[in-house]
């Protein structure tokens, strides 16, 4: 099936009232999550994951993907109007976006952020449409050894994602590995680390872990300091950018789209890195770099385009290879696995309706978000007035219902609470908890593919080096590992 | 102090995990056994815990621990969740949430009693309606059937 007929099929799958409704709901929730500081897209996705279990896989995925890029759209609103980033990828937008708002140009900043996001999102979706199937066509010939190589590469790439102390990041990866092994061993039925607790036989519930680590810990951190929002502009006027705004922003939007898309594909990249790098690039190549930080529209257009393009980019390794490149796509991978779907090289051929449906949902969601973000800006501004003390208890209640709904088991709520407190402590002590989720999701797949490879091999582990693709992937993993060690060693020497 | 205790916890967790994984078996006739992967992960945790304990480079710069007021708010959230977890199976979702929500609302930012009652009723009704009815998600019921 070629890309265009696949896309046509995706639209035919998506264009039903129910699927459109859930895509719209995801866009709405995503924008809301982006607008409200204190709840990131990862926590929101974790909280809403259980809702999708009752939906069809396509409706659930469309909704989750819409939350992801909806948050990227919505995050700029708070950055521009309140100078507090709604989510991490919009931190950099505070610099020039808020300055524009102080100068009475909040409308232009918000308009350019939304239009730039739309253009970048659409451009990167076009590339995704043609690139992901091509990649999957190569990967379709993969067996267990190649899958092991792929997972190993994904895991090594996770090392590059670690922010802060590498030792702490590595420990998080090892902890993710260890906790993923709790429960019954699928190969021989042995129980591992269950210690006779029946509730642990099926393993530690992914939902309880992510809702606890990201959702509850974030709430615990936020309730420590209740901040009041100070809106710069009550009424937003002139949302459509002027001709001179367009002239200044067109090239940054295109550059942000390209950069964001590439960084989205690279494991460890993603929207946050993309927005920061886009800002740095725009500032470096600007004729008057001193304008940056004082209300330069390029400082809004570039990063906001980059973070949206990164969303589409990060879908490529997920949908075509089954490798998550950031914690949010790791959660999407978890959602697929819970639904009984294994994304990977065979995903496009086995479930073309789902693959192309998700791609079509992203095109549709992109248009919905433009409609939601420009005419409804007044609504989002009003939402910023809701006091935190009213929001947090409702979010906590949602977290509990969500966690409970996965297995209808209260034990999972205790697990969620435990991981919430652990996440709070780890974040206080500057641990990067994102690699934990990636390792927790990837480790069982890695272990399974290695054990399958060994079972089919007559030369033991040598099978990984006897097949060219797996040998190449394992070699690439080792090369990246050595590269990281050298880089770390050089940094250490430079410091001392 | 807290960080050193956590590092000690990693060492103990890693050592205990490695020992348990060893008892599961590391290698069998057809390759890795159930214990191999958790053994490697546990050893890594113990070694990294030791490394963190030995070096000061990776220690958190200046962790901001909560003062009495903010600590109480965070503890209130944890207590609210614990109350819900304890009560949901015994008295049902509605009754457990009716107890836990006021704890959350009153500890987070001292909501007035009127706000507390209205928000508790509104939030519970919305969740029962959206999750219980619209999405068909069975919420636990108490001995009185709701």
Question: Would you call B77 and A219 a contact, using CB atoms and an 8 Å cutoff?
Answer: yes
Question: What is the 3-class SS of A91-143, one letter each residue?
Answer: CCHHHHHHHHHHCCCHHHHHHHHHHHHHHHHHHHHHHHHHHHHHHHHHHCCCC
- For the record, the structure tokens of B20 come out as 């348990």
Answer whether residue A58 shows pLDDT above 60. Answer: yes
How far from the centroid of its chain's Cα atoms is residue A46's Cα? 11
Mean pLDDT estimate for chain A: 82
Answer whether residue A17 shows pLDDT above 80. Answer: yes
HSE of B89, CA atoms in CB hemisphere, 13 A? 11
Least confident of A23-27, A77-81, A166-170, A354-358: A77-81
- Give pLDDT, residue A174: 93
A293 touches chain B (CB under 8 A): no
Answer whether residue B19 shows pLDDT above 90. Answer: yes
Question: Would you call B58 and A185 a contact, using CB atoms and an 8 Å cutoff?
Answer: no
Q: How many CB atoms lie within 10 A of CB B107?
A: 21
Question: Would you call B119 and A416 a contact, using CB atoms and an 8 Å cutoff?
Answer: no
A50 touches chain B (CB under 8 A): yes
- Give pLDDT, residue B39: 94
- Give pLDDT, residue A407: 78
**Chain A residue closest to B140 (CA)?**
A408
Whole-angstrom Cα distance, residue B86 to residue A318? Answer: 38
A379 touches chain B (CB under 8 A): no
CA distances to A89, A118, A262, A363, B111 from A306, rounded to whole Å, are 9, 11, 10, 17, 41
Residue in the block written with tokens 């260890």: A178
Between strands A191-192 and B31-32, the pairing is: unpaired
**Chain B residue closest to A446 (CA)?**
B37
A493 touches chain B (CB under 8 A): no
Q: How far is B48 from chain A (nearest CA, A)?
A: 6
Answer whether residue A483 shows pLDDT above 80. Answer: yes
Which spans in A268-324 are helix H?
271-285, 298-316
Residue A244's Cβ-count burial label (10 Å; 0-12, 13-18, 19+) is exposed
Answer whether residue B12 shows pLDDT above 90. Answer: yes
User: Which DSSP letter does residue A318 get?
Assistant: I
**Chain B residue closest to A443 (CA)?**
B37
Whole-angstrom Cα distance, residue A257 to residue B72? Answer: 45
Residue B13's Cβ-count burial label (10 Å; 0-12, 13-18, 19+) is middle
Spans of all domains in chain B: 2-54, 68-134
**Chain A residue closest to B56 (CA)?**
A165
Mean pLDDT over A190-210 rounds to: 86
A254 touches chain B (CB under 8 A): no
pTM of the model: 0.76
Give the residues across from B28 on adjacent strands.
Answer: B31
Residue A378 domain boundaries: 3-495
Could you read off the pLDDT of A124-144 as tens digits, one per residue? 888 888 887 777 777 667 788
Question: Is the backbone of residue B107 left (phi > 0), alpha (psi -120 to 50) or beta?
Answer: alpha
Whole-angstrom Cα distance, residue A15 to residue A427? Answer: 42
Residue whose C-alpha is closest to residue A317's, from A151, A73, A143, A122: A151
At B32 the three-state DSSP class reads strand
Residue B91: its chain A contacts at CB < 8 A? Answer: none
Residue A188: its chain B contacts at CB < 8 A? Answer: 33-34
One DSSP character per residue, A190-257 reads -EES-TT-GGGTT---HHHHHIIIIIIHHHHHHHHS------S-SS----SPPHHHHHHHHHHHHHHH
Q: How far is B108 from chain A (nearest CA, A)?
A: 6
Answer whether residue A228 shows pLDDT above 70. Answer: no
Start-to-end CA distance of chain B, whole Å, equals 47
Answer whether residue B130 shows pLDDT above 60. Answer: yes
- For the record, the structure tokens of A394 come out as 């409702």
Q: How far is B145 from chain A (nearest CA, A)?
A: 17
A224 touches chain B (CB under 8 A): yes
Whole-angstrom Cα distance, residue A271 to residue A309? Answer: 8
Residue A170: its chain B contacts at CB < 8 A? Answer: 44, 48
Q: How far is B146 from chain A (nearest CA, A)?
A: 15
At B34 the three-state DSSP class reads coil
Q: How far is A455 from chain B (nearest CA, A)?
A: 5
A216 touches chain B (CB under 8 A): yes
Using pLDDT thresholds of 50, 70 and 90, give the confidence band for residue B45. Answer: very high
Question: Would you call A398 and B70 a contact, using CB atoms and an 8 Å cutoff?
Answer: no
Residue A448's Cβ-count burial label (10 Å; 0-12, 13-18, 19+) is middle
Domain count, chain A: 1
Residue in the block written with tokens 């973070």: A307
Answer whether residue A230 shows pLDDT above 70. Answer: no
Whole-angstrom Cα distance, residue A340 to residue A324? Answer: 17
Specify the length of chain A in residues: 496
CB contact residues (below 8 A), chain A span 145-204, against chain B: 165-168, 170-171, 174-175, 177-178, 181, 185, 187-188, 190, 192-193
Mean pLDDT over B51-62 rounds to: 80
Question: Would you call A455 and B30 a contact, using CB atoms and an 8 Å cutoff?
Answer: yes
Whole-angstrom Cα distance, residue A381 to residue A360? Answer: 30
Find the helix or strand (DSSP H, E) in which A467 lies.
none
Mean pLDDT over A380-403 rounds to: 77
Could you read off the pLDDT of B65-83 as tens digits, one per residue? 888 777 888 888 888 889 8
Whole-angstrom Cα distance, residue B60 to residue A172? Answer: 15
Start-to-end CA distance of chain A, whole Å, equals 57
Sign of the Cα torsion A389, A390, A391, A396 reads positive
Q: How many CB atoms lie within 10 A of CB A283?
A: 19
Question: Would you call A400 and B20 a contact, using CB atoms and an 8 Å cutoff?
Answer: no
Answer whether residue B11 shows pLDDT above 90. Answer: yes
Residue whose C-alpha is closest to residue A57's, from A22, A108, A96: A22
Residue B10: its chain A contacts at CB < 8 A? Answer: 171
Q: Which among B31, B61, B84 has CB closest to A460?
A: B31
Residue whose C-alpha is closest to residue A29's, from A323, A408, A402, A299: A402
- Give pLDDT, residue A496: 59
Helix, strand, coil abundance in chain B, percent, nearest 5: 75, 5, 25
Question: Would you call B105 and A389 a contact, using CB atoms and an 8 Å cutoff?
Answer: yes
Backbone angles phi, psi at A230, to 5 degrees: -115, 110
Residue whose C-alpha is closest to residue A125's, from A261, A221, A318, A19: A261
Residue whose C-alpha is closest to residue A34's, from A82, A90, A83: A90
């Amino acid at each position: 099936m070629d890309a265009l007929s696949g896309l046509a099929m995706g639209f035919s799958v998506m264009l039903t009232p129910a699927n459109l409704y859930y895509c719209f709901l995801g866009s709405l929730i995503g924008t809301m999550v982006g607008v409200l500081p204190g709840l990131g897209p990862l926590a929101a996705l974790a909280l809403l994951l259980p809702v999708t279990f009752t939906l069809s896989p396509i409706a659930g995925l469309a909704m989750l993907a819409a939350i992801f890029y909806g948050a990227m759209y919505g995050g700029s609103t708070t950055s521009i109007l309140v100078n507090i980033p709604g989510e991490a990828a919009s931190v950099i937008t505070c610099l020039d976006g808020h300055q524009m708002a102080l100068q009475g140009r909040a409308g232009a900043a918000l308009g350019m952020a939304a239009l730039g996001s739309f253009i970048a999102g659409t451009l990167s979706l076009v590339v995704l449409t043609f690139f992901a199937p091509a990649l999957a066509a190569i990967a379709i010939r993969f067996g267990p050894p190649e899958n092991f190589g792929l997972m190993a590469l994904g895991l090594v790439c996770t090392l590059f994602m670690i922010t802060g102390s590498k030792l702490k990041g590595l420990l998080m990866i090892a902890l993710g590995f260890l906790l993923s092994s709790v429960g019954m061993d699928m190969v021989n039925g042995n129980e591992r680390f269950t210690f006779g607790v029946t509730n642990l036989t099926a393993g530690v519930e992914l939902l309880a872990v992510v809702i606890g680590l990201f959702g509850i810990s974030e709430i615990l951190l936020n309730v420590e300091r209740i901040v009041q929002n100070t809106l710069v502009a009550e009424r937003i006027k002139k949302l459509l950018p002027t001709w001179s705004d367009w002239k200044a922003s067109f090239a940054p939007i295109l550059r942000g789209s390209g950069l964001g898309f590439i960084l989205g594909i690279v494991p460890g990249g993603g929207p946050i890195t993309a927005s920061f790098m886009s800002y740095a690039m725009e500032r470096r190549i600007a004729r008057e770099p001193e304008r940056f930080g004082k209300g330069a529209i390029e400082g809004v257009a570039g990063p906001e385009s980059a973070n949206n393009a990164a969303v589409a980019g990060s879908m490529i390794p997920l949908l075509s290879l089954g490798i998550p490149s950031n914690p949010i796509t790791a959660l999407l991978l978890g959602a697929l696995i819970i639904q009984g779907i294994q994304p990977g090289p065979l995903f496009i051929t086995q479930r073309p309706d789902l693959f192309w449906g998700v791609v079509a949902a992203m095109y549709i969601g992109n248009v919905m978000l433009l409609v939601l973000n420009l005419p409804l800006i007044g609504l989002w501004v009003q939402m910023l007035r809701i006091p935190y003390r009213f929001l947090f208890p409702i979010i906590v209640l949602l977290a509990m219902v969500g966690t409970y709904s996965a297995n209808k088991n209260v034990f999972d709520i205790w697990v969620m609470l435990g991981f919430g407190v652990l996440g709070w402590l780890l974040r206080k002590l500057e641990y990067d908890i994102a690699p934990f989720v990636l390792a927790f999701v990837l480790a069982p797949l890695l272990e399974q593919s290695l054990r399958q490879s060994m079972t089919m091999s007559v030369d033991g582990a040598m099978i990984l080096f006897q097949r060219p693709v797996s040998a190449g992937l394992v070699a690439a993993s080792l090369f990246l590992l050595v590269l990281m060690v050298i880089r770390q060693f050089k940094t250490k020497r430079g410091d001392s | 102090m807290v960080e050193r205790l956590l590092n000690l916890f990693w060492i103990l967790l890693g050592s205990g995990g490695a020992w348990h994984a060893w008892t599961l078996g590391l290698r069998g006739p057809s390759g890795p056994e159930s214990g191999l992967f958790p053994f490697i992960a546990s050893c890594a945790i113990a070694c990294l815990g030791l490394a963190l304990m030995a070096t000061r480079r990776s220690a958190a710069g200046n962790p901001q621990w909560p003062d009495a007021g903010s600590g109480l708010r965070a503890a209130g959230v944890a207590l609210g969740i614990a109350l819900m977890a304890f009560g949901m199976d015994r008295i049902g979702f509605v009754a457990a949430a009716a107890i836990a929500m006021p704890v959350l609302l009153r500890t987070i930012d001292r909501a007035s009693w009127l706000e507390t009652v209205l928000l508790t009723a509104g939030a519970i009704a919305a969740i029962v309606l959206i999750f219980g009815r619209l999405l068909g998600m069975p919420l636990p019921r108490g001995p009185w059937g709701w």
